[in-house]
């Protein structure tokens, strides 16, 4: 099927809307670009991306935490505080609204900011964890926020679950496996959806990038939302070229009007 690139969110192709209207099951995979308009930097964009300024292996790997837990903790505290000061944007809210317009919408995200749930989406599959939670570095058990608060002078705080454990953010680091249950649920949703939407992701990180590919292979129609072109946009039936905080509300608004 040939690809259509759309640049004007005020002129959504009729065929795309028909396709979404007919779709019973929809799966969405989001990435850092969806939170860009909330003021959270993406990872891979030249100059502004987090990985343009910091070395991931020095900050987001088990080895880095082993070698210098204080630096890793401080860096995550900085990101946490930025996220805590920020809010979901119109794209997050539109996806939450979309859940009420289709039979089933599974939201799968690589983002750790928790903004989809904050905007009202339910059952969000957080592939890379959630930065606002802490777990024990030895046992993986969740640590109560009150414990962290009571030990915040220590960087990182100790773990209440293991004598040699430390608190660490509940995120997936480079070299670590994703939670198998979350990953299975994401691939299951991809395998049965009629439409898969990818939004704000470079598609550079596995296994997340394979989720829309699995949906395509199972016969889904793909819509990609991204100001830039990448491998995923080239696979999509429609590439909506522009920011997700513009395209998602435009799509959902139009769908809602047609339904109403
Ligand atoms: P990337 O930083 O790799 O890609 C962000 C994408 O968002 C790029 O393709 C941008 O073009 C696009 N983008 C920028 N602004 C946008 C906007 N306003 N609207 C829509 N799209 C926009 O981020 P991810 O694909 O999420 O993993 O990266 C995946 C994973 O790599 C992250 O979860 C993180 C990182 O290393 C871990 O930390 C494990």
Number of domains in the chain: 2
Average pLDDT over residues 14-37: 96
What does the pLDDT look like over 175-206, one tens digit per residue?
999 999 999 999 999 999 999 999 999 999 99
CA distances, 117 to each of 123, 226, 249 (Å): 8, 21, 17
Does residue 81 sit in the same domain as residue 93? no
Q: How far is the CA of 92 from the centre of ligand 1 (A)?
A: 15
Does residue 121 sit in the same domain as residue 197? yes
Ligand 1 atom nearest residue 45's Cα:
2
Q: How far is the CA of 160 from the centre of ligand 1 (A)?
A: 34
Does residue 3 sit in the same domain as residue 34? yes
CATH number at residue 58: 3.30.1600.10
Does residue 152 sit in the same domain as residue 35? no
The position carrying tokens 């979901």 is 88
CATH number at residue 207: 3.40.50.1220
Predicted local distance difference test score (pLDDT) of residue 184: 98
Domain enclosing residue 114, as ranges: 1-39+88-128+178-260
Strands ordered across the beta sheet of 125-126: 4-6, 238-240, 221-225, 195-199, 25-30, 104-109, 125-126
Does residue 260 sit in the same domain as residue 166? no
Does residue 122 sit in the same domain as residue 229? yes
Last residue within a domain, chosen from 171, 186, 202: 171
Catalytic residues: 128
Tell me, yes or no, if the pTM score tops 0.75.
Answer: yes
Last residue within a domain, chosen from 145, 171, 197: 171
């Amino acid at each position: 099927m040939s690809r259509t690139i759309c640049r004007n969110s005020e002129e959504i192709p009729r065929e795309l809307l028909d396709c979404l209207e007919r779709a019973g099951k929809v799966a969405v995979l989001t990435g850092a670009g969806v939170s860009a308009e909330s003021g959270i930097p993406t990872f891979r964009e030249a100059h502004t991306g987090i990985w343009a300024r910091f070395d991931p292996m020095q900050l987001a790997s088990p080895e880095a935490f082993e070698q210098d837990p204080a630096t890793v903790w401080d860096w995550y505290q900085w990101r946490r505080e930025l996220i805590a000061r920020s809010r979901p944007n119109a794209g997050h809210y539109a996806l939450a609204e979309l859940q009420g317009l289709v039979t089933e919408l599974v939201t799968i995200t690589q983002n750790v900011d928790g903004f989809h749930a904050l905007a009202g989406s339910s059952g969000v599959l957080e592939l890379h964890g959630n930065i606002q939670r802490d777990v024990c570095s030895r046992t993986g058990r969740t640590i109560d926020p009150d414990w962290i608060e009571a030990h915040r002078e220590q960087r990182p705080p100790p773990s209440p679950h293991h004598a040699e454990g430390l608190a660490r953010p509940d995120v997936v680091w480079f070299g670590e496996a994703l939670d198998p249950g979350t990953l299975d649920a994401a691939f299951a949703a991809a395998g049965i959806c009629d439409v898969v939407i990818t939004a704000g992701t470079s598609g550079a990180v596995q296994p997340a990038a394979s989720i829309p590919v699995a949906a395509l292979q199972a016969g889904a129609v793909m819509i990609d939302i991204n100001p830039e072109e990448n491998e995923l946009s080239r696979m999509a039936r429609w590439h909506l070229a522009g920011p997700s905080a513009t395209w998602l509300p435009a799509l959902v608004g139009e769908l809602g009007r047609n339904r109403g």
